[in-house]
Structure 1
Amino acid sequence: MKRLTILASGSGSNAENIVNYFKDNNDIKVIQVLTNNKNAKVIDRCKRLTIKCLLFNRDDFYHSNTILNLLKETSDYIILAGFLWKIPVNIIKEFDKRILNIHPALLPKYGGKGMYGKHIHLKVLKNKETKTGISIHYVNENYDEGAIIFQKEVSLSDKETLASIQEKIHQLEMANFPKIIEKVIKQNG
């Protein structure tokens, strides 16, 4: 069985979707969710889903091997679902090609530090883009620059709003992220 740890910083809708997708799967299981935000709604979602959720701080993540050691003991893959911190090199090296992230834009456009959530969608609106989408990629040492595994685009009209773009992206994330995680794990073993 392949064990997944999800890292999340926010509401946890992607985390919940992934947990539910794999709940009856005998080959892939979400073992735990780790969060760096004591106010993240993902904590309440985990309680409801009866999934272990651990809160960690910046020192544990960047200046010690605490999180690395926990992940080595418990996890085969790491899934970033709205996680806003850069992953330390020691974790990336240990989990090479086993850390996946979802990004709410068609990379390489609108990637990099500070490019997440509504910040991306507002730029998409400002630039009058005719399409946007999601990218699922491996994580490397740079924000949003790992090898792209999957992209799905959606057309935009000139009537789009922040809310309508957010909804379109959310639907793409919900429909595709768990399936692509499963596909990658089955291909890589």
Structure 2
Amino acid sequence: MLNIGVLVSGGGSNLQAIMDRIESGYLKNVQIVTVVSSKTGVYALQRAQEHGINNTCISRKSFESMEAYDDALIRHFDAHKADLVVMAGFLSILGESFNKFYDKRVINIHPSLIPAFCGKGFYGIIPHRHVIESGVKVTGATVHFVELEADTGPIILQKAVYVEDEDTPESLQKRVMEQAEWEILPEAIKLYAENRLVIEGRRVKIV
């Protein structure tokens, strides 16, 4: 059984996608052991509560240093025996000690085709605004392993979504979630659970 802990900051639509795939049987031998939010009162925590999943808020603002915040997260996930940590719309930064403790055991979903429209400050609706302003015709989503620098870890999966002429940042965000994020995040978890991901340098091979 693969125990996963999920980090969230908002509505939890990607969390819902994972829970749906577990309940449908697509994700076999996978269970969510805890959901941690960076903010109080977010809908993602309610989603977890409704599914009987342990949930809590651990906010960066509650700690004097990144090291203290990392330690609190490590202790929480370790206490719940999390094998894999999934960042599903998590907007806080993880520090060096967390990344070292969970090296190659943290994955993130990002709403663009990395290395485009990513890095510090590119979260939420912001990547979609930049996509439309840039005039590119294709965007999408990326699942990658997490490293200390934002959005730089080895890429696991990507899925493209076409930008339509009438798109707004909001409509594009919705379509990227529905057509890409909700598909490839559960798929990446499935591949991880089946031990089918092999990291070779900057590349991730699926075996």
Give the TM-score, by structure 2 length. 0.85
> Could you say what secondary structure the match of 1:114 adopts?
coil
Alignment of structure 1 residues 128-147 onto 2, 5 Å: 128-147=135-154
**What is residue 200 of structure 2 aligned with on the other side?**
none
How many residues are matched? 189
User: Please, which runs of 5 or more residues in structure 2 have no aligned partner?
Assistant: 198-207
CA contact under 8 A between 1:8 and 1:42: conserved in structure 2?
Answer: yes
Structure 1, unmatched stretches of 5+, are none
Residue 27 of structure 1: which of 3, 24, 29 is its match?
Answer: 29
State the 4+ residue runs in structure 1 displaced beyond 3 angstroms. Answer: 23-26
Q: Distance in 2 between matches of 1:98 and 1:61?
A: 23
The two structures, once aligned, show a CA RMSD in angstroms of 1.8
State the match for 1:184 in structure 2: 192
Alignment partner of 2:46 out of 41, 44, 47: 44
Letter in 2 for 1:46: A
Q: Which shows bigger deviation, 40-49 or 103-112?
A: 40-49
Percent of matched pairs sharing the same residue: 28
Name the SS for the 1:32 alignment partner. Answer: strand
Question: Which amino acid in structure 1 is aligned with residue 48 of structure 2?
Answer: C
Q: Letter of the aligned partner of 1:47 in structure 2?
A: Q
Separation of aligned partners in 1, 2:196 and 2:162: 32
Please say which of residues 55-64 and 115-124 is displaced more in the overlay. 55-64
Query: Shift of the alpha carbon at 1:101?
Result: 0.1
Supply the AA of the counterpart residue of 2:184: N
1:28-63 deviations in Å (ceiling 9; x for gaps):
111110011013111211121221111112218833
What SS does the corresponding residue of 1:175 show, helix, strand or coil? helix
Matched ranges for 1:94-105 at <5 A: 94-105=101-112
Task: Give the equivalent residue in structure 2 for 1:84.
Answer: 91
